Structure 1
Amino acid sequence: MSKLSLPKDKIKFVLLENVHDNAVAYLRQHGYENIDVHKGALDADALKDAVRDAHVVGIRSRTKLTEDVLKAAEKLVAVGAFCIGTNQINLGAAKHLGVPVFNAPYSNTRSVAELVLAEIIMLARGIPRRNWISHEGGWDKSAKGSTEVRGKTLGIVGYGHIGTQLSVIAEALGMKVRFFDIVDKLPMGNAAACMSLKELMETSDFVSLHVPDTPQTRNMITDTELGWMKQGAFLLNAARGQIVDIDALADHLRTGHLAGAAIDVFPVEPASVEDVFESPLRGMKNVILTPHIGGSTQEAQANIGTEVAEKLVKYSDNGSTVGAVNFPEVMLPVHVGGARFMHIHRNVPGVISKINDVFSRRGLNIVGQYLRTDEEVGYVVVDVDGIIEPGMGVRRDLEAIEGTIRTRFLNCEEP
């Protein structure tokens, strides 16, 4: 049997923005040595040049993979976002080019939860203001406005991986935990669900946001929702910048309705360290401002490096798309023997029958077939048993099927 797939040493990875060394180590452990590492982000023109011959591109949050950049990478088969969010990637364009995008949605869970818990304690003790006063030479030892968090109510909006982790460690400190999620969730420990966002906002001393960036969550916390909060309550946002109306939050802080806030994400964030950070919250002595560092710990970055690299290797080696954010997810058995073909196509009728016909006309027996679709694209993986030689035209005929976006071929057996 001829080995027709691209050898691993020919598959080029381009990693930008100082992706953690764990990623490079994992790739090399699995036979990928052609790795081009860049420590920083690149502007559009330099980025196009860097990815032009790349098969896999790995980025973090500052690199913008626009449709133009993706189209410039003509050999691209996958993208790894070594972070949580994927707003910096044109996911639709990537899907229509047959390029799945993988991220690391869970690797920073503990880091974000620890930061939020620390900020809750800092806000309860009035540390932001006292720190400011001390730096200016003052000395405020008063207990006024300073409380323990034990016995206070923490309201968590979004009870996913981070929300549940925060719930557990907050309860360990003696806090009462309430949560609200649009999906029914099993409470952890003694946490109790709220029937509505309004109920949570009205009953919580601290409200912490942990929802994804979706059309439903953008501007979900406006002047109205902030008005529901208790007098003297605190708001924390380490989720996404578009969730909170920052101007409205600033107003509620100025009037004294809210006692303080801790914000890690913003509607508009500087594109680089040289740019000035602008926000109506600047200068407020009862507000903790952090530069989107919820997941910026050594442990989180190491975990992200391994998690995303593992997903990229599985896709390259095996065709598995589990964990892709823009693509039908197909969980595949380990590919042993035979040949594996992957076909990405527009989701139109008749494609599967035409794929099967390509193999049946050559007397190739299909021993496994795995298909998933969404409203736009289909992804089918076919394992065949039989002798496949160069010149048989299998790939040519697969690519000729109407609606085809991309084909790949894996063959793990040596000639």
Structure 2
Amino acid sequence: MSRIVLFENIHPSAREVFEAAGLTDIQTYKGALSGQELLDAVKGADVVGIRSRTQFDSRVLEHADQLKVLGCFCIGTNQVDLDQAQNHGVPVFNAPFSNTRSVAELVLGEAILLLRRIPEKNLRVHQGFWDKSADGAFEIRGKTLGVIGYGNIGSQVGTLAEALGMRVLYHDVESKLPLSNARVYGSLKQMLAESDVVTLHVPGGQGTHNIMNAEAIAAMKPGSILINASRGTVVDIEALHQALVSGHLAGAALDVFPTEPKSVDEPLKSPLIGMPNVLLTPHIGGSTQESQENIGREVAEKMVSYLRSGATKGAVNFPEVSYYDIQGAVRLLHVHRNVPGAMGGLNNILAQHGINITRQQLQTQGELGYAMTDLDRVPGQDLLDAVRAHPGTVRSDLIFPA
């Protein structure tokens, strides 16, 4: 029986998927753990599920001595040392699509609120003022939306924005087919100059670090709005603060920050705090009941598929092998270094023990190879020991038909 440990209040839909598959040994934690508490919690676990706050580095992977599969119940995987997980033969799954609609709706909702100056108007009413002026308040219809990063979320934002009557432009470092009437702009500077609202939907990393720096923000259309619901490191916060203070930008909305609080009662530290034309939300772009339910189900299903068949379709750090039924008495999973002779060595060991192969599939990714081999009979422990001792073997396990 596989032991499952879930952190950070993962949606009950994940437990439902595991239990439906007969996996009932499940331990849950409401929040993220760190230090020795985390090391103790993952020791002996076969399956671990985390969200964005749990840091799964090489030290944690060393202590997770029985770990077979790791699930990130969110979009990003920056909290996991993916290379070390690969070196341990542990595939990592995430949910790149399940919260697309939730993030898109938040972005457009914030655009409408900021264009209408609702945050300021709301604050004034609470303070006892009844300011009905239309100065600086605009409809979203007819405005231009500039999308930086035209992936799953960026393209969805563009599609919904067109339904509201917006003109949509986008810029992406990769060639992307435009949806509806969206127009691609090769020049980021030109797109910024034409956009009334700019929204970011790019991954983190060195390539996007402070992509919206002082120079890029200065290139934005005067009186425009900047929205970031992607990664906290892609916007230079000091430069944004200066553009808001000077009036160059009319407003901004941020859901992610370079450094985020680690607990509910820890305050955010930012120069943007208290600005009436800035919306600050606590990394809740995907925090809707619908998206969390979808994420729980999607990631858990991928993990169950791996446990039941060895399928790695959708893994972010592993060669992808699709699901197919076991055709034989048992399936041997073999993770190995992608070097000449790796498969020959495996098949020679099987032949030496009189085991026949009924089906075999191999995929490689960089330095790693992954083979699923169906066998005509269940091998003894001596064969498994020989396979695991073979030079280049990273991990090897057996899976039996359900």
**Normalising TM by the smaller chain, what interval?**
over 0.9
Question: SS at 1:88's partner residue?
Answer: coil
Shift of 1:198: 1.4
Q: After superposition, where does 1:157-236 map in structure 2 within 5 Å?
A: 157-236=148-227
Q: Which runs of 5+ in 1 are unaligned?
A: 1-9
Name the structure 2 match of 1:102.
93
Q: Letter of the 2:108 partner, please give it.
A: L
Distance in structure 1 (CA, Å) of the matches to 2:237 and 2:79: 21
Distance in structure 2 (CA, Å) of the matches to 1:319 and 1:388: 17
Name the structure 1 match of 2:385.
396
Deviates more, 1:238-247 or 1:195-204: 195-204
Name the structure 2 match of 1:405.
394
Please tell me whether residue 363 in structure 1 is matched to residue 351 in structure 2: no
Shift of 1:389: 4.6
Distance in structure 2 (CA, Å) of the matches to 1:383 and 1:256: 66
Question: SS at 1:156's partner residue?
Answer: strand
Distance in structure 2 (CA, Å) of the matches to 1:200 and 1:334: 50
Distance in structure 2 (CA, Å) of the matches to 1:248 and 1:233: 15
Deviates more, 1:356-365 or 1:77-86: 356-365
Shift of 1:247: 0.8
Name the structure 1 match of 2:305.
314
Q: Which runs of 5+ in 2 are unaligned?
A: none
Can you list the C-alpha shifts for 1:330-361, whole angstroms capped at 9, x where unaligned?
Answer: 22322243321111122222211101111122
Distance in structure 2 (CA, Å) of the matches to 1:218 and 1:86: 17
Name the structure 2 match of 1:135.
126
Distance in structure 2 (CA, Å) of the matches to 1:178 and 1:74: 49
**Distance verdict in 2 for CA 1:183–1:116, change over 3 Å:** same
Can you list the C-alpha shifts for 1:254-313, whole angstroms capped at 9, x where unaligned?
Answer: 111111101100000001112221011111111111010000000000000000000100
Question: SS at 1:216's partner residue?
Answer: helix
Could you tell me which of 105, 111, 115 is aligned with 1:114? 105
Shift of 1:387: 2.6
Can you list the C-alpha shifts for 1:225-271, whole angstroms capped at 9, x where unaligned?
Answer: 11111110110000011111111111111111111101100000001
Distance in structure 2 (CA, Å) of the matches to 1:37 and 1:405: 29
TM-score (norm: length of structure 1): 0.94
Q: Is the 8 A contact 2:200 2:227 kept in 1?
A: yes
Distance in structure 2 (CA, Å) of the matches to 1:387 and 1:122: 65
Q: After superposition, where does 1:282-361 map in structure 2 within 5 Å?
A: 282-361=273-352
Name the structure 2 match of 1:254.
245
Shift of 1:364: 2.3
Q: Letter of the 2:387 partner, please give it.
A: L
Distance in structure 2 (CA, Å) of the matches to 1:178 and 1:373: 38
Distance in structure 2 (CA, Å) of the matches to 1:367 and 1:226: 60
TM-score (norm: length of structure 2): 0.97
Q: Is the 8 A contact 2:327 2:359 kept in 1?
A: no
Please tell me whether residue 24 in structure 1 is matched to residue 27 in structure 2: no
Distance in structure 1 (CA, Å) of the matches to 2:158 and 2:58: 39
Q: Is the 8 A contact 2:363 2:369 kept in 1?
A: yes
Q: Letter of the 2:391 partner, please give it.
A: E
Please tell me whether residue 34 in structure 1 is matched to residue 25 in structure 2: yes
Question: SS at 1:303's partner residue?
Answer: helix
Name the structure 1 match of 2:116.
125
Question: SS at 2:150's partner residue?
Answer: coil
Question: SS at 2:233's partner residue?
Answer: coil
Q: Letter of the 2:142 partner, please give it.
A: G
Shift of 1:92: 1.7
Shift of 1:12: 0.5
Distance in structure 1 (CA, Å) of the matches to 2:370 and 2:328: 21
Q: Is the 8 A contact 2:327 2:374 kept in 1?
A: no
**Distance verdict in 2 for CA 1:407–1:136, change over 3 Å:** same
Distance in structure 2 (CA, Å) of the matches to 1:307 and 1:388: 32
Distance in structure 2 (CA, Å) of the matches to 1:313 and 1:139: 57
Distance in structure 2 (CA, Å) of the matches to 1:329 and 1:44: 32
Question: SS at 1:382's partner residue?
Answer: strand
Distance in structure 1 (CA, Å) of the matches to 2:258 and 2:158: 26
Could you tell me which of 39, 43, 47 is aligned with 2:34? 43
Shift of 1:367: 2.7
Larger relative contact order, structure 1 or 2 (CA cutoff 8 Å, min sep 6): 1
CA-based RMSD: 1.3
Question: SS at 1:242's partner residue?
Answer: helix
Name the structure 2 match of 1:4.
none
